[in-house]
A and B are shown apart, each in its own frame.
Chain A
Amino acid sequence: MMNSIQTVFTRPNVLFLLDGIKTTLLISLYVVILSIVFGTLLGLVRNYEKQFFGKLAGFYIELFRNTPLLLWMLGCAFLIPGSTILVKASVALFLYTAAVVAEIVRGGLNSIPKGQFEAAHSQGFSFFQTLAYIILPQTFKKIIPSLLSQVITTIKDTSFLAGLGIMEFTRSGQVILGKVTKTSEVFLIYGFLALIYFIICFTLSVLVRSWHKNNSENV
């Protein structure tokens, strides 16, 4: 076992894996931020605009939520012209995650009593002011737990990119697997991958939960 650790975790290999972690985290960061922004927009449109755009948003959300992520990644990577395969496949992850976030946001919006709109309106708030100052802040506070679990899912979903040869964390592990021949070394690498994903996601979950707890006590 000691031998395996020494052959697997050489300095270049560790640096190579760290590079993979960096790519995974960067992709996750961009995808999460963009999909929360776009997802919120989609959720709002679907909830409050019942005409053409509402239906369009609804169609988009249902289409992405009910089809496999890998399909979209392959589709985007090979059918969109230009750019790198990394960017194109990440766009697919973003489009998919936005659809899920939209439904989470919509759930939050529906949990806010409708009377608040009327109350705000009577005080001279416009529809958009009501959304920005009254409805959305409450919505986000309520949906943080479900949003968090979606963020964690998204971080893990980036491992799909390995199938397309994108050098994120899982793929960097696979490249190192290419050189090893002993079973113990294989388990060591997979164990390491699992451990790092766990550390990232668990830390995030603990941080957000404690922040949420402190924050809701202040309200």
Chain B
Amino acid sequence: MKKRNLLATVILSSVLFIGACSSDDGSTTEADTTKGSDQVTIASIKEAGVLKVGVKEDVPNFGLKNTDTGEIEGFEIDIARKLAEDILGDPDAIELTPVTAKTRGPLLDNGEVDMIIATFTVTEERKETYNFTDAYYEDAVGLLVKKDKNYEGLEDMDEANVGVAQSSTTSEAITSEAEQYGITVEFSEYATYPEIKAALDSGRVDAFSVDRSILAGYLDDSTEILPDRFATQDYGIATKKTNVELAKYANELITTWGEDDTLNGLISKWGLSE
């Protein structure tokens, strides 16, 4: 009798669990197709009077929380402000939501933010899930290594261990480049950039690889950035797949700002030009 109860519980819980998973999928597709009113449009943003943007709060120069004022500051925040100024006529009409690489996708999908401006690299894969604007910033992956290793480039780094950030596209970029040289490299993933730097300093990894704009902040007397530049990465503004109008509008603005040097001005303001 007891055994049967146990069996019943196990079966019931697995059924419920699977049910929960599949109903989850069902509800998102339903939301995508039927809830037309949930769409974020320029008009609905104007009605709300505020632009909700997901940003990073731990990436220097792009989006970093100022512990003194409690405000998030950076290049991407300035873009968000400019967008709010254009749409709503007020650069302060923004609501910033801090996101991480884990949360930015779901927050966009469940409508908690209108758009993501958070060092989100545009890839073909991601384009199938989200709308991306053209790049507001182009970066390339670089390698920070110890000077005493005497590396001259990725070519010399056969079987080296490269430290990269979790959920980033860096490792793919390096792997494809390494294949061209006929060498292999290993990767170790870390949660934050300073941890990778710590791993480099202690010798657990041979190189710290991330976008060059970020690497520059970690350069010191014992390290150097190799000349290699791989896989240019485009940072784009992401919007939910169904919000086509908003995506188009943002893209037009980014194009205009790219042409009239507004973006370049902001890039040098935040020390991001190489």
B208 to chain A, nearest CB (A): 11
Total inter-chain residue pairs, C-beta < 8 Å: 86
B99 to chain A, nearest CB (A): 6
Flag whether B68 is at the interface (Cβ < 8 A). yes
> Are B67 and A13 in contact, with the CB atoms below 8 A?
yes
- Residues of chain A within 8 A of B13, CB atoms compared: 59, 62-63
Flag whether A191 is at the interface (Cβ < 8 A). no
CA distance A176 to B192 in the complex (A): 11
Flag whether B102 is at the interface (Cβ < 8 A). yes
- Residues of chain B within 8 A of A15, CB atoms compared: 67
- Majority secondary structure, B binding face: mixed
> Are B68 and A12 in contact, with the CB atoms below 8 A?
yes
CA distance A59 to B201 in the complex (A): 50
Binds B, one of A99-107, A136-144, A162-170, A196-204: A162-170
Binds A, one of B57-65, B127-135, B147-155: B57-65
Q: Given A62-B9, A78-B106, A164-B100, is A177 in contact with B220 using a C-beta cutoff of 8 Å?
A: no
Show the binding face of B for A, using Cβ within 8 Å: 9, 12-13, 16-17, 24, 57-60, 64-68, 70, 98-100, 102-103, 106-107, 109-110, 112, 191-195, 197-198, 201-202, 217-218, 220
- Residues of chain A within 8 A of B16, CB atoms compared: 63
Q: Given A164-B102, A179-B64, A181-B197, is A174 in contact with B58 using a C-beta cutoff of 8 Å?
A: yes
Partner of A181, one of B102, B191, B218: B218
Q: Given A79-B24, A174-B58, A175-B58, is A181 in contact with B12 using a C-beta cutoff of 8 Å?
A: no
CA distance A13 to B193 in the complex (A): 19
